[in-house]
């Protein structure tokens, strides 16, 4: 139990750190934008990685790494709690159209990223 918890903690620390660094990189690239691009980016990339890992782990017998990768790393990297906050911030600013677009893009692109990740992993592992 303690070793599993340690793996989750390690993965979470790495994932959260990478999320932070990704945010810095995107802000440097695009500047500050009123639309929460950084959170959208990490959610789509994280969903792609989740899809790829699920397939790869099943094919390669690596499901024992799920606490490290899925719960820890990808849980720390993706940001649906931050997604919720960004959505409410847009709504409270009166930008309901932006909020609706953000929710739609986040859900559609993240699920799409997961599907593409699964297909990519299946193509590589087939």
Instruction: Give binding residues for Na(+) as ranges.
Output: 75, 78
Please enumerate, by residue number, every residue annotated as part of a binding site: 75, 78
Closest by CA to 73, choosing from 111, 42, 109, is: 42
CB atoms near residue 83 (< 10 Å): 20
> Residue ranges of the alpha helices (H) in the chain?
2-30, 37-60, 66, 75-77, 80-92, 96-125
- How big is the chain by its Cα radius of gyration, in Å? 16
C-alpha 19/C-alpha 13 separation (Å) is 10
Q: What is the dihedral of CA 111, 102, 19, 3, to 10 degrees?
A: -50
């Amino acid at each position: 139990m303690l070793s599993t918890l340690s793996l989750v903690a390690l993965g979470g620390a790495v994932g959260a750190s990478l999320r932070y660094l990704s945010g810095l990189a995107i802000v440097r690239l695009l500047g500050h934008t009123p639309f929460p691009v950084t959170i959208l980016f990490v959610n789509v990339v994280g969903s792609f990685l989740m899809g790829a890992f699920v397939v790869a782990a099943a094919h390669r017998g690596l499901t024992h790494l799920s606490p490290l990768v899925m719960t820890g790393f990808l849980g720390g990297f993706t940001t649906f709690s931050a997604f919720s906050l960004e959505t409410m911030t847009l709504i409270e600013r009166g930008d309901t159209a932006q909020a609706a677009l953000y929710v739609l893009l986040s859900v559609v692109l993240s699920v799409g990223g997961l599907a593409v990740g699964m297909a990519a992993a299946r193509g590589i592992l087939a």
